[in-house]
Amino acid sequence: MTWTISPQRVFSASPVVPVMVINDLDDAIPMGQALLDGGISVFEVTLRTECALDAIRILADTFPQAIVGAGTVLNTAQYDAAVTAGAQFIISPGFSITLLKYAQQKEVALIPGVATPSEMMTALEFGYTHLKFFPAEANGGAKALAAMSAPLPQVTICPTGGISVHNLEQYINLPTVATVGGSWMLPKSALDNKDWVAVAQLSKEACILVAELKK
| Domains by residue range for the chain, with CATH | 7-213 (3.20.20.70)
CB-count burial class (<10 Å; 0-12, 13-18, 19+) for 36: middle
d(CA 203, CA 215): 19
Chain center to CA of 7: 10
Q: What is the pLDDT of residues 118-177, one digit of tens each?
A: 999 999 999 999 999 999 999 999 999 999 999 999 999 999 999 999 999 999 999 999
* Other CB atoms within 10 Å distance of the CB of residue 116: 12
Residue 109 has a pLDDT of 98
Q: What's at 23, amino acid-wise? A: N
Cα distances (angstroms) measured from residue 170 to each of 62, 93, 132, 152, 174: 35, 21, 16, 19, 8
Alpha helices in the chain (DSSP H): 7-12, 28-37, 52-62, 76-85, 97-104, 117-125, 141-149, 168-172, 188-192, 196-213
Q: Which of 101, 106, 125, 132 is catalytic?
A: 132
User: Which is catalytic among the residues 44, 188, 212, 214?
Assistant: 44
**pLDDT at site 20:** 98
For residue range 160-181, list pLDDT tens digits in order: 999 999 999 999 999 999 999 9
Question: Across residues 197-205, what is the average pLDDT?
Answer: 98
Q: Does the annotation count 132 as an active-site position?
A: yes
Question: What is the bridge-based pairing of β-strands 130-133 and 156-159?
Answer: parallel
Distance separating alpha carbons of residues 131 and 214, to the nearest angstrom: 20
Mean pLDDT of the 109-124 span: 98
Give yes or no: 44 in active site. Answer: yes
Residues pairing with 157 in the sheet: 131, 177
Q: Looking at the predicted structure, is the pLDDT value of residue 214 above 90?
A: no
